[in-house]
Structure 1
Amino acid sequence: SAGAESQAAAGDAGMAGAGSGGEVSTTAVLGSLSELSPGNKMYVVVEKNFKVYAYSNKEYQIALLALFAKIEMRLPNLIVATLTRRSMMEAFDRGISAKLIHHFLVARAHPYIARQGIPVPANVIDQLYLWESERHRATFRNVCLLRNFSDESQFAACYSFLESNGHAIFSCNTSRFLLVIDKAAQPPARKFLATWRPE
């Protein structure tokens, strides 16, 4: 109905606006999906080469797609886009997760494609999550290893002192007393051990 279309347009337009200036929440995206009636829904076909064909002529739906895909071509009722690393990184910067994009593409898969049982190619979905994981790569820190503690009480006291200051990174007190700390914490750790006395 006209009322439903207006409601859906308002919801999706709000999302597009949020994407250009701030975070897009999970609630906003999923709420927008649920508000769209079948007659207003944008159907998409995703290919293994990361091409996305979206069947729609509504500006707010095209704006949604542009939040995470690079628009390549616009025809009267068809938009051709590509999922690229850059477009995905920009989406992540807006607060849109790979999980949200995955859900979006599956929820709007063309009925003919959806009936095949694989609405979005597996290699595309895997790559979305791989791109997202690039933002959470391992970081390197300068550390030092403390060992040869006199006994468990000295180890425990040193660990407690360093942990309370946020310098303890890793500890092992099962067979050998080992403590990995920030390199910057080495001088205060040495001073603490030099003045420590068992209670």
Structure 2
Amino acid sequence: METSSSDTPSHLLLAFLHSQSQTALTRLYQRPSACLSIFRLLGPLERQIVMNLLWLESVIPAATMAAWVPQDSRQAYEHSLSILSRLHLLPRSAAKLALNSTLKTGLRHAIVGGGSSGSFGVPANSDESHPPPSVETLDAYALERWETILHYMVSSGTGRSPTKPSQAVLVLLQRSGLMASVHGGALQITSLGFQFLLHPPHAQLWELLLQYLRMVEERQMDLVEVLSFLFMLSTMELGREYSVEHLSATQTAMLEDLRDYGIIWQRKTSPTRFCPTRLATTLTSSSPPLPTAAGVTSSSQAQGFIILETNYRLYAYTDNPLQTAVLNLFVSLKSRFPNLVVGAITRESVKKALANGITADQIISYLTTHAHPQMRKNKPLLPVTVQDQIRLWELEKNRMKSQEGYLYTAFASQADYEYVLHYAKQLGVVLWESSPRRCFFGTLEGHPNIRGFIERRTAGHA
């Protein structure tokens, strides 16, 4: 049995599923589409263990399975068993191994067929007057919706007015910490949001969906039904319309949300049917979730498009508005041409980025990730002087910190000063002190206690 070391589950969703109860997961495993989708999300070793047990009609001694594993791979094997156990796919007993019977039945149906649960969706009847949209139309729709979200994030706080996503999307971005409300109530991208932009589209999509899953309880939605629908979408056929009639109430309510993310396409005149986009059909696969010919997964981004010189000048060979908007977060843009953007990394542009919560390491990481192939011949890849200066500008920003509090001064004697200072230090509220000047600075929270202590001492001497 081949093994590979892994400290965490191979997919973000698996960690979320680990926190769910056995009852909820067993309900989920009643859907063959969910069984197949979770199998896809497992790592190679976990999938191999599941397949070894799937067609066995009886339990197998754990020692028999362990005998197939080389000695130097035992740790990875034990870790995989732990992942499967936390998903309640295997019993927690170490003596014998057997797949969860509900999952075994569902996965068998998914592989060889059988059953009539509609777990993989029910195709809608053909309508010659309204044929299903082409794959190209679906790709363009998904790309437009997804880039609307990303473009709004990177354009926040710049004074521009990009197309605004729906209110539900804005709430999701805020609750996930990718954007935060600033003075005036406007949303602005956070440091976490900029890090989010560095991730591939597939990871970005699941980060938003995980936040959506965390919010289902307060929205009084059934988590199992929500997960089942996402897994159902991941097994559907791109370019085919499906019927809404067989969906549960929770799943029907999800249609509007998923339209906002570009995950499904729905004709306004035919609300009884919907069509999954590529964002949906690739949810549990390794295929790219967006068309590779345009947008955030364009060839310019895949190959790298940024050239950075030692004089801080930057050339970006791109015509993508989203990539340009990301650069505008930390670059002072000077000129724009049909397929080229010219700018410079300046103290002001970096300070603006730092004020928005973007870190120096994130800026350097973005420049490194998207460096032009010509740049990759350099060692080091980015000019050291530029990297050092970006970090120095960050240190300059962090050199001084402001904090509200109270200054205590004009003590009658050195003894009074030291007595009150000792009390304040016991409370742990002293931020600064100067013995020659007989004064110290305390926190805002500690002021009531210090004031009361001084008043009691003064009254005692009266």
1:99 aligns with 2:361: yes
In the TM superposition, residue 54 of structure 1 has moved relative to its aligned partner by 0.3
Q: Which SS does the other structure have where 1:111 is aligned?
A: coil
Q: CA deviation at 1:93?
A: 2.1
C-alpha distance 167-86 of structure 1, shift in aligned 2 (>3 A): same
Instruction: Say if 1:44 and 1:54, in contact at 8 Å, map to a contact too.
Output: yes
Q: Give distance in 1, aligned partners of 2:326 and 2:353.
A: 11
Unmatched segments (≥5 aa) in structure 2: 1-134, 159-185, 202-295
The residue matched to 2:374 in structure 1 has which SS?
helix
Residue among 173, 176, 182 paired with 2:441: 182
Offset of 1:86 from its aligned partner? 1.2
In the other structure, the counterpart of 2:155 is: 17
Contact 1:51–1:81 (CA<8 Å) still a contact in 2? Answer: yes
Distance 1:168 1:63 in 2: 41
CA distance in 2, matches of 1:22, 1:88: 20
Q: Work out whether residues 421 and 440 of structure 2, in 8 Å CA contact, stay in contact via their aligned partners in 1.
A: no
Structure 2 distance, partners of 1:143, 1:11, is 50
CA drift at 1:167: 3.5
Tell me which of 297, 303, 315 is aligned to 1:37. Answer: 297
Provide the residue aligned with 2:162 in structure 1.
none
TM-score (norm. length: structure 1): 0.68
RMSD: 4.3
CA-to-aligned-CA distance 1:75-103 (integer Å, 9 cap, x gap): 21111101111111222222222222111
Q: Aligned in 2, Cα 1:86/1:8: closer, same or farther, shift over 3 Å?
A: same
1:66 to 328, 339, 345: 328
Aligned counterpart, 1:78 = 340
The count of corresponding residues between Structure 1 and Structure 2 is 186
1:141-180 to structure 2, matched below 5 A, reads 159-164=422-427, 166-167=429-430, 169=432
**Percent identical residues:** 22
**Distance apart, 1:28 and its partner CA:** 2.9
Distance in 2 (CA, whole Å) between partners of 1:139 and 1:92 is: 14
Q: Which moved more, 1:115-124 or 1:67-76?
A: 115-124
Match of 1:152 in 2: none
Secondary structure at the aligned position of 2:350 is classed as helix
Give the aligned residue type for 2:342: V
Deviation at 1:55, TM superposition (A): 0.6
For residue 194 of structure 2, what is the amino acid of its counterpart?
V
CA distance in 1, matches of 2:146, 2:383: 28
Q: 1:96 to 1:166 in 2, by over 3 A?
A: same
Structure with bigger strand share is: 1
Matched residues in 2 for 1:161 and 1:43: separation?
56
Offset at residue 49 of structure 1 (A): 0.4
Residue 349 of structure 2 aligns to which amino acid in structure 1?
A: S
Query: Residues 59-89 of structure 1, C-alpha deviation per residue, up to 9 Å, x if partnerless?
Result: 1211111111111111211111011111112
Residue segments in structure 1 that go unaligned for 5+ positions in a row: 150-154, 171-178
Higher RCO (CA-CA < 8 Å; seq separation 6+): 1
The offset of 1:157, in angstroms, is: 8.5
| Larger deviation, residues 107-116 vs 160-169 | 160-169
CA distance in structure 1 between the aligned counterparts of 2:322 and 2:343, rounded to whole angstroms = 15
Amino acid at match of 1:37: T
Q: How does the TM-score come out when normalised to structure 2?
A: 0.33
Point out the structure with max Rg over C-alpha: 2
State the partner residue of 1:50: 312
Task: Give the corresponding residue for 2:380.
Answer: 118
Distance 1:8 1:82, change over 3 A: farther
